[in-house]
């Protein structure tokens, strides 16, 4: 399945049905009268967040959504049926953004099953029976249905993950996520092996959390260098970030500074999120070099550095233990057989 995290669509609610002009004509009825019914209400445009989706690819091929209009009224005081509401299903974590400025968030769907009406259908028009008065016994006027609302909107997906993985290209992020999850991310000895976000579920010490890996950042990503920083939106909702640094890089301290600068340039609270610094690929160098680089990273501002190896799994337990400190405690329930298990209503994850 292809990954798509933003799409532009056109939406329009249904127009109300027109009222009817009709007169009662029956044999043996001396006086007739108006009996035109009212039109039905147009359908609403409703957005619903559903579990099991983690891409907006469907909206690449279907971009226009129009709710049905209301049925017109008819004789014998019969009102028209309302148009059926149109429900647009999107992944959990989707934001609906106004096309006028590209920034105003109209909806933010963060929970599975959440339904919000964005556009309301037009009201149905009045039939001529509703205009009857003591002085106007044969009205011929009626009302057309009120038009529906329409607009262009952007859908922007921000994946829901507990932990975000950041770093320069070739820092070993794909190998890292493959080591601790069942994800089969592509691994290659060249820059930008990862071209789209990857999600994986980590199971550690009877706990579970969702880890998101995004394409590597380089200096100037905020200005569009490399792949840019648009994928940083997928880690805005994370509780903690893991910054992976390649010990074989030119300068680990410089790598730390580059990522910190890009997070600050992006904003949206990323620069304030807690970060765990992981010095990766320590299995490829001697212990003295590892100690030297850890000292340099601490001098550059890192509070604590975790030496790890994504390929062998060395040091992973200590790093994951530190991650758990930033996550809410697992909820447990008492089962009828006396066993304690995690609650069934644990937070939804995209996988």
Report DSSP letters for 202-223, one per residue: EEETTEEEEEEE-PPP-TTGGG
CATH architecture, domain 6-157: Distorted Sandwich (2.70)
The span from the CA of 237 to the CA of 162, in Å, is 7
The span from the CA of 284 to the CA of 282, in Å, is 5
Domain 163-342 fold is Rossmann fold (3.40.50)
Residue spans of the domains in the chain: they are 6-157, 163-342
pTM for this predicted structure: 0.75
CB 121 within 8 A of CB 13: yes
Walk along the chain (351 residues) and give the pLDDT tens digit of each residue.
467 888 999 999 999 999 999 998 888 877 888 999 999 999 999 999 998 887 898 998 899 999 999 999 999 999 999 999 999 999 999 999 999 888 899 999 999 999 999 999 999 999 999 999 989 989 999 999 999 999 999 999 988 888 989 888 888 888 888 888 877 766 766 566 666 777 888 899 888 888 888 887 777 776 766 666 778 888 888 899 999 998 887 788 888 898 888 888 888 888 888 999 999 999 988 889 889 989 999 988 888 899 999 888 899 999 999 999 998 875 333 444 444 444 444 444 443
Query: What are the helix (H) ranges across 241-284?
Result: 252-266
Strands of the sheet with 150-157, listed across from one edge: 64-66, 6-12, 150-157, 94-98, 105-109
């Amino acid at each position: 399945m292809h990954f798509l995290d933003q799409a532009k669509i056109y939406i329009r609610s249904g127009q109300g049905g027109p009222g009817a002009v009709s007169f009662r004509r029956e044999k043996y009825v001396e006086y007739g009268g108006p009996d035109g019914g009212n039109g039905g209400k147009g359908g609403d445009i409703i957005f619903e967040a559903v579990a099991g989706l983690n891409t907006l690819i469907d909206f690449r091929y279907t971009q226009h959504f129009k709710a049905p209009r209301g049925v017109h009224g008819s004789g014998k005081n019969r009102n028209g049926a309302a148009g059926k509401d149109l429900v647009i299903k999107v992944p959990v974590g989707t934001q609906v953004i106004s096309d006028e400025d590209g920034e105003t968030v109209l909806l933010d769907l963060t929970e599975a099953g959440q339904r919000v009406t964005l556009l309301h259908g037009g009201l149905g028009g009045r039939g001529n029976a509703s205009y009857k008065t003591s002085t106007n016994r044969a009205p011929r006027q009626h009302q057309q249905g009120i038009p529906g609302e329409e607009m262009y909107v952007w859908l922007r997906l921000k994946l829901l993950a507990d932990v975000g993985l950041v770093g320069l290209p070739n820092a070993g992020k794909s190998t890292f996520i493959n080591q601790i999850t069942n994800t089969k991310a592509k691994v290659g000895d060249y820059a930008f092996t990862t071209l789209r976000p990857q999600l994986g579920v980590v199971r550690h010490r009877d706990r579970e959390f969702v880890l998101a890996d995004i394409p590597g950042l380089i200096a100037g990503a905020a200005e569009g260098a490399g792949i840019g920083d648009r994928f940083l939106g997928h880690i805005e909702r994370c509780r903690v970030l893991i910054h992976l640094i390649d010990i074989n890089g030119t300068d680990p301290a410089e790598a730390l500074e580059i990522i910190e600068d890009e997070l600050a340039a992006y904003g949206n609270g990323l620069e304030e999120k807690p970060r765990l610094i992981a010095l990766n690929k320590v299995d490829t160098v001697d212990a003295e070099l590892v100690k030297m680089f850890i000292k340099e990273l601490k001098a550059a501002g890192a509070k604590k550095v975790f030496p790890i190896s994504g390929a062998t799994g060395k040091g992973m337990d200590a790093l994951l233990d530190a991650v758990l400190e930033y996550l809410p405690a697992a909820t447990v329930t008492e089962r009828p057989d006396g066993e304690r298990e995690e609650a069934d209503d644990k937070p939804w994850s995209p996988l």
